[in-house]
Amino acid sequence: MATTSNKLDVAHEIKLDHDNVRDLWSRFQASSDKNERAVLANTLVREMAVHGDAEEVSIYNDYSNLGLGGEVEHNKEEHAEIKKLVDRADSASINHSEYDAVVGKAVNAFLTHAGEEENDQLNKIRTKLSPEDNHKLAVQFLKARKMVPTRPHPAAPQTGGAAQKAAGAFGSLHDKVVEKVGGRDFAPLKYQHPHVNSL
């Protein structure tokens, strides 16, 4: 969300991702069409994977400067578990009787973590950042979303540093090829981020 001074709010951009996952999950649960559910599941996997890695290579690197250094390790541990669950959902067959439970377990873990961020960490970020720094961090997060893998890679580095960025660049290219060759379709998102190129 841009303010009247055209500055972005990183907490809003993070919550927008959370809200998209909530919306996609609601649509998945409401649908009885197998093809639509597959598309929604593909989109859930992509959005959860992108969101987690984007946080790790952007905002988590600034957490210690914001007095949230203790939260980084906790968040990364939760992300590691979420990535494993999302990877299982990505690998599961829609024809399997436990498919909904596998996808649901990943989504519920993601949303539990999202709730922790929304109820505590995002408010702290807002109070500690100047409007300019908030905007810069939001732009970093949005740029990271464009560079990270679109599928889960639980064995990849989660340091938030150069190793994760390098693995992410390779993983992102690999994932785009897999999605193209595999013919994966994705559902439109209800909420949209601003275009990074226009910032």
pTM for this prediction: 0.85
pLDDT digits (tens, 9 = 90+) for 148-189: 888 886 665 555 555 444 444 444 444 544 555 456 899 999
> Alpha-carbon distance 197 to 107, whole Å?
30
Query: pLDDT digit string (tens) for 20-68?
Result: 999 999 999 999 999 999 999 999 999 999 999 999 999 999 998 998 9
Domains of the chain and any CATH numbers = 10-198 (1.20.120)
- The Cα–Cα gap between 19 and 25 comes to 10
Whole-angstrom distance between the N-terminal and C-terminal Cα of the chain?
12
Report the distance separating Cα 14 and Cα 136, nearest Å: 14
CB proximity list for 97: less than 8 A, separation 6 or greater: none
From CA 171, how far away is CA 87, in angstroms rounded?
A: 14
